[in-house]
């Protein structure tokens, strides 16, 4: 039996692609690993796209990033299976609309379960529960992951830097919402990160993916390089400043659609900027 590989085609979400498609399975059967990967295309949730789709099985693959917010707004699903995609991260609540009876199998996600959504245990999908022990989003762990990917050029900065890895390689015993440059809302969710001109050294390819609720990000004027991760997905980010760094490559597509202000000068980006970030 042949196996298909690749990514989910964004063009399948156009008005004329599959207007009558009700059932779609791109699952890898009983295998623990899959052959499809990449990000879930936000175009599948555009107005008019896949209007008849009710059952979508994408389990046992290698999809990464987060659930596109557009899927929650537009798709009229009754069953969504994303089990055994351990690289999927982010919030459940921002991605899934409140349906009357939407059955969801998820893996690697966090957050609260919207009212009316039935979440099934990926390890035992026969469990049909209206509530399931579901992990709170660990924003501190996501912040620590980013902290572990960078360094500070000068240890003397410890007098003005709270938290982070500055002196002996460990994080100071400071609540993560009180870390220098970190902004949180009333629910202790990280919504802002401003570390401009802080003497940071490292790369940006990995480390920020878990901070999916960021609304503002300013890392300008630091010694940061590398390329931007293709799995970047920050659906609420309105301000992004990555100027005066050493970033190369291309901009990620599809994960920065709420941007109102973007500053990328004095870098080494190449290629065309996506029309829709």
Does residue 156 carry a pLDDT above 70?
A: no
Percent of the chain with pLDDT over 90: 16
Predicted confidence at residue 195, as pLDDT, reads 92
Q: What is the pLDDT of residues 97-155, one digit of tens each?
A: 545 556 666 655 666 555 555 555 444 545 544 444 455 677 777 787 788 778 776 55
Span 166-189, average pLDDT: 77
73 with 173, same domain: the answer is no
Judge if 241 and 215 occupy the same domain: yes
Specify the range with the lowest mean pLDDT, choosing from 66-70, 122-126, 197-201, 207-211: 122-126
Q: How confident is the model at residue 160 (pLDDT cuts 50, 70, 90)?
A: low
Q: What are phi and psi of 10, to 5 degrees?
A: -60, -30
**Regarding predicted confidence, which is higher, 263 or 121?**
263
Residues 111 and 182 in one domain: no
pTM of the model as a whole: 0.60
Residue 192 belongs to domain with CATH number: 3.80.10.10
- In percent, how much of the chain has pLDDT > 70? 65
20 in a structural domain: yes
Q: What is the mean pLDDT of the chain?
A: 74
Neighbours of 259 (CB within 10 A): 12
Q: Which whole number is the average pLDDT over 195-218?
A: 85
Provide the residue range defining the domain that includes 115: 10-129
Q: So what's the pLDDT on residue 208? A: 83
For residues 162 and 173, what is the distance between their CA atoms, to the nearest angstrom? 9
155 DSSP 8-state letter: G
Q: Based on the fold, state whether residues 92 and 50 are members of the same structural domain.
A: yes
> Looking at the structure, do residues 56 and 164 belong to the same domain, yes or no?
no
- Would you say residue 182 has pLDDT above 90? yes
Sheet holding 37-39, edge to edge: 37-39, 62-65, 87-88
Domain shared by 82 and 124, yes or no: yes
CATH number of the domain encompassing residue 81: 3.80.10
Question: Hey, is 64 helix, strand or coil?
Answer: strand
Q: Are residues 116 and 31 in the same domain?
A: yes
Q: Give the chain's domain count.
A: 2
Q: Among the three residues 102, 129, 156, which one is the final residue of a domain in this structure?
A: 129
Q: Which two tokens stand for residue 129?
A: 């529960």
- Whether 4 is covered by a domain: the verdict is no
Inter-residue contact 241 to 196 (CB < 8 Å) = yes
Task: Report, as an integer, the average pLDDT of 51-60.
Answer: 85
């Amino acid at each position: 039996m042949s196996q298909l590989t690749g990514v989910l085609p964004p063009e399948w979400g156009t008005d004329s692609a599959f207007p009558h498609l009700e059932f779609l399975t791109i699952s890898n059967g009983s295998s623990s690993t899959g052959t499809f990967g990449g990000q879930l295309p936000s175009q599948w949730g555009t107005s008019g796209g896949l209007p008849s789709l009710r059952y979508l099985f994408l389990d046992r693959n290698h999809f990464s990033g987060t659930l596109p917010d557009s899927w929650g707004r537009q798709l009229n699903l009754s069953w969504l299976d994303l089990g055994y995609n351990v690289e999927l991260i982010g919030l459940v609540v921002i991605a899934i609309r409140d349906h009357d009876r939407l059955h969801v199998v998820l893996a690697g996600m966090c957050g609260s379960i919207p009212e009316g959504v039935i979440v099934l245990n990926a390890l035992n999908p026969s469990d049909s529960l209206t509530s399931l022990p579901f992990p709170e989003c660990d924003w501190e762990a996501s912040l620590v992951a980013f902290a572990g990917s960078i360094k500070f050029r000068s240890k003397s900065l410890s007098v003005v830097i709270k938290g982070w890895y500055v002196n002996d390689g460990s994080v100071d015993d400071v609540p993560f919402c009180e870390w220098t440059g970190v902004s949180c809302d009333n629910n202790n969710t990280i919504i802002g990160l401003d570390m401009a001109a802080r003497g940071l050294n490292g790369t940006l390819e990995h480390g920020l993916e878990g901070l999916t609720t960021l609304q503002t990000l300013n890392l300008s004027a630091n010694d940061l390089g590398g390329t931007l991760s293709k799995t970047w997905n920050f659906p609420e980010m309105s301000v992004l400043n990555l100027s005066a760094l050493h970033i190369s490559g291309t901009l990620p597509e599809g994960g920065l659609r709420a941007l109102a202000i973007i500053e990328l000068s004095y870098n080494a980006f190449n290629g065309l900027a996506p029309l829709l970030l």
